[in-house]
Amino acid sequence: MYMVSVSDKPAPGAFAALWVSTLSFTACFAVWTIFAIIGIQIKTDLHLNDAEFGLLAGTPILTGSLVRLFLGVWTDQFGGRVVNLLVMLAAAAATYLLSFAHTYPQFLLAALGVGISGGSFAVGVAYVSRFYPKSRQGTVLGIFGAGNIGSAFTKIVAPMVMVAFGWTAVAQYWALGLFVMALVFFFTTKDDPDLVSRRKSGVKAVPMLTQLAPLRNLQVWRFALYYFFVFGGFVSLALWLPHYLVGVYSLDVRTAGLFAAAYSIPASLFRAAGGWLADRIGARKVMYLTFGVSLICCFLLAYPSASYVVDGVKGPIAFRIATGLVPFTMIIFVLGFFMSLGKAAVYKHIPVYYPDRVGAVGGVVGMVGGLGGFILPITFGFLNDITGIWTSCFMLLFVLVGSALLWMHFAIRRMEQARFPGMSTLPELPELVGMGQAPAAKS
């Protein structure tokens, strides 16, 4: 009879830890991307250019990224319940105060505080992973990461609230929701088993410098580049698409929010499927799928609308090539789907390679990915201003995903050759060796 080992069973309190953490992360992510919607109205009110809008939308992402490293370490040291409670309460207060801003510097300052909500991801990864065995962590962290759906909630609901009551109401309601979720999280979850065990045995937490030791490994930074694209690219597009759709297809903000949700929803919900798939076929194969399909999608989206005149047999023939709204929505849906798989696959690597440093390594990978969500919207706006081409954002993403794919492939090749030295001496097409030689004469 098949027996399940104790190590394969989740720890007590795992169910609440996973699902309540996912809900709290959803609330945090809804707040973290709030400027994707209210920023459009603020841009109009303050007469901002695209680069200034990109900076405003990306500023919360900057804070949320930078604090992830420290929050991940503190979670390993002090436990996720207390750290996540403090993160959500601080972000709720900053979001409420945002409604009282009037000048661009005031908005930027408030945005820095709002960005604390983005740090909840590093806390949740380190906290939730402690309750589950390694064999299930891809699926579990994929489910938790599906809290990215908070971005879609903001895109769908915030425009309606903003049109009805103004952008300040969005900030105040989102702050109230995050405050309530913080209390629900704290009072319905338990401390993780590692923290409980340390308290019982009197073992001190690992010092921060020791926790950060794995960051000397180049492999960690390679994982970070992967996440720079799959998560940083996701966040940047989640912030940029409503503005892009308004500018390119002349949609109103409510309609633009709904169409942008066609990207945010698959890029969030299917993260759980990515974790499950990484558990089944391996994270490496999932990353190849993610980068390969994303490369194709970014190439198609990067091609700008253009009009041509060619010399035909009976005279000039004029025609135009452009991506309509429906094809654009279909391609962006596919891109979001495969990026969601990649987000889960990246974090499947971390508990496997660094089981005792999930908080620190996950924090730095999340930090670099989050920095992508800050840097890319600003770069999108800058490229728009200097090129005048809306699709320049996808040109940049094409270069980024192509670079990540090449680095991953050659790193894997080096690892394979190190493990199996004989591979380096094989010809490129070993099955063709000897085909051009004449057969030996028979005696």
Give CA 89 to chain center in angstroms.
23
Bridge partners of residue 319, in order along the sequence: 308
Q: CA-CA distance, 141 to 127, in Å (whole number)?
A: 10
Superfamily (CATH) of domain 13-199+217-417? MFS general substrate transporter like domains (1.20.1250.20)
pLDDT, greater one: 363 or 277: 277
Q: How open is the CA angle 16-20-24, to the nearest 5 degrees?
A: 160
| pLDDT in the model for residue 6 | 42
Q: Rounded mean pLDDT of 164-189?
A: 95
Confidence of residue 426 (pLDDT cuts 50, 70, 90): low
Contact status, residue 276 vs residue 136, Cβ threshold 8 Å = no
Task: Domain ranges for the chain, please list them.
Answer: 13-199+217-417
CB atoms within 10 A of CB 91: 30
SS (H, E, C) 22-49: HHHHHHHHHHHCCHHHHHHHHHHHHCCC
Tens of pLDDT, residues 34-67: 998 899 899 989 998 888 888 888 889 888 888 8
Task: Name the one residue in this structure whose structure tokens are 């023939």.
Answer: 317
Q: In the structure encoding, which two tokens stand for residue 135, read together?
A: 């064999």
Q: In the structure encoding, which two tokens stand for residue 191, read together?
A: 């401390």
CB atoms within 10 A of CB 52: 17
Q: Rounded mean pLDDT of 74-99?
A: 91
- What backbone torsions phi and psi does residue 305 show, to the nearest 5 degrees? -60, 135
pLDDT, greater one: 17 or 353: 17
322 has a pLDDT exceeding 50:
yes
Contact status, residue 275 vs residue 162, Cβ threshold 8 Å = no
H or E element that contains 308 = strand 306-312
Query: Angle 120-129/14-32 helices, nearest 10 degrees?
Result: 170
